[in-house]
Amino acid sequence: MVDLRNAAAIVGIHEHVTRYAPDKSELQIQGESVIKALEDAGLTKNDVEGLFTASSSIRNSGLNLADYLNMYPKYVDNTTVGGGSFEFHLSHALTAIAAGRINCAVITYSSLARSGGVSVGTGGVGRYGHPRLDPSPDSFEEIYGLTTVGLYAMIAQRHMHLFGTTSEQLAEVAVATRKHASMNPEALFRTPITVADVVNARVISSPLHLLDCCVITDGGGAVVVASPEVARNCRQTPVWVLGAGEAVAHQGAGQRDLIYIAAKQSHQPAFEMAGVTHKDIDMAMIYDSFTITVVETLEDLGFCEKGEGGQFVSGGRIQIGGELPINTDGGGLSSNHPGMRGIFLLLEATRQLRHQFEGTPRQVPNCRLALCHGTGGALGSRHSGGTVILGRD
């Protein structure tokens, strides 16, 4: 394969920090994010050749966004594979830039899940009347009352059965991310919580409690990706895309062992491309739709053995100062989750690699290599997994 290491860098970022924006349109949040991210990079509208976006609510998202921004990109990608779509976008932008098709791309996302009253996790298929189900797979699934929480809860249940994982171990993930959220002024929930708080919260779908589940917010953001030539003249320290891998996992016609998730397939290509090992990774952004998502992802990424994730996340190992700090912005569990959180993984990893929090407790010391893994869809039915490895010089 062509060596893609250092072929593209993240040169600009912006998080639209709103958690509640009832008077904005989703396209406005994307537009404002793109403008600010380009400002951050020191680039302008005319520099952008590629447009990458995903949405669960905007129809023809790439087309409508180009229209809103009055742009004529020559490379458009609205790959939509759930919340981790943006790790796929970064992977695709890397390829497009390395191939010389484009020199600069923006990736953007927004959602008004909170002000729109969307029950992301517990809405089920139809809150207001029943939509016509697709003949398959929906007609074999939605008739049984699936919820997003439920599809993760089923994997948590099986994980507990096979490996003895406990609710207290899952709670450690929520406790760690809340601790990190307490250092993020933009986080939705900032008051520290204990393991007891999590396991005593009401059960939403057994064995997952309320605090095992991500928050629901509005929000959005943008990432500017550029070739080395463009990156050289940008304002910020370039954050190189060193490796990328993508995968899907599904029922396998009824035969797949769903305890293994897409991260098991996507991590190896990313590590191989980057030429680094797990021990080299200074921090990780792990999609945390639910606490079980993190445990499963850390295992299948290879940070620990299968079944040992519950132990791995305990004892402060995933907190800043621990062996592998994760989700240092407070994650989806405490900071924000507008429905597709993958872009925020890229934003926080970039901040950490820029050493933006130097001199404060939020900074991961000597952060040179970060891994982001986005999960989209649901572990219990079908989902995507995108791994990217980022680094600074």
Q: How far is the CB of 360 from other proteins (least distance, A)?
A: 38
Query: Tokens for 39?
Result: 């400002």
Contact flag: residue 153 with other proteins (CB under 8 A): yes
The sign of the torsion formed by the CA atoms of 284, 276, 358, 87 equals negative
Contact flag: residue 137 with other proteins (CB under 8 A): yes
Q: Which of 154, 239, 249, 274 binds other proteins (CB under 8 A)?
A: 154
Helix, strand, or coil (residue 212): helix
Q: What is the DSSP letter of 120?
A: T
Q: What is the DSSP letter of 260?
A: S
Beta strands in the chain, from DSSP E residues, in sequence order: 9-16, 50-53, 75-77, 104-112, 203-205, 208-209, 218-226, 239-249, 283-286, 369-377, 383-391
Q: How far is the CB of 332 from other proteins (least distance, A)?
A: 18
Let me know: does 370 contact 10? Beta carbons within 8 Å: no
Contact flag: residue 147 with other proteins (CB under 8 A): yes
**Shortest CA distance to 375 belongs to which of 227, 146, 214, 210?**
214
What's the maximum distance between 2 C-alpha atoms anywhere in the chain? 56
Contact flag: residue 157 with other proteins (CB under 8 A): yes
Q: What is the DSSP letter of 334?
A: I
Q: Please state the φ and ψ torsions of residue 45, each to the nearest 5 degrees.
A: -50, -40
Closest to other proteins by CB, 126 or 321: 126
Closest to other proteins by CB, 159 or 267: 159
Q: Which of 44, 139, 194, 200 binds other proteins (CB under 8 A)?
A: 139
Q: Please state the φ and ψ torsions of residue 172, each to the nearest 5 degrees.
A: -55, -35
Closest to other proteins by CB, 151 or 346: 151
Q: How far is the CB of 292 from other proteins (least distance, A)?
A: 11
Site string (235-264) toward other proteins, x via CB under 8 A: ----------------xxxxx--x------
Closest to other proteins by CB, 251 or 268: 251
Q: How far is the CB of 298 from other proteins (least distance, A)?
A: 20
Let me know: does 160 contact 207? Beta carbons within 8 Å: yes
Contact flag: residue 22 with other proteins (CB under 8 A): no
Q: How far is the CB of 375 from other proteins (least distance, A)?
A: 18
Contact flag: residue 122 with other proteins (CB under 8 A): yes
Sheet holding 369-377, edge to edge: 75-77, 50-53, 104-112, 218-226, 9-16, 239-249, 383-391, 369-377, 283-286
Query: Tokens for 362?
Result: 């939020």
Size of the site for other proteins (CB under 8 A): 49
Site for other proteins in 202-221 (CB under 8 A): 202-208
Looking at 13-21, 132-140, 172-180, 363-371, which segment touches other proteins (CB under 8 A)? 132-140
Site string (326-365) toward other proteins, x via CB under 8 A: ----------------------------------------
- Binding residues for other proteins, rule: CB under 8 A, are 119, 122-127, 129-147, 149-150, 153-155, 157-158, 161, 202-208, 251-255, 258, 380-381
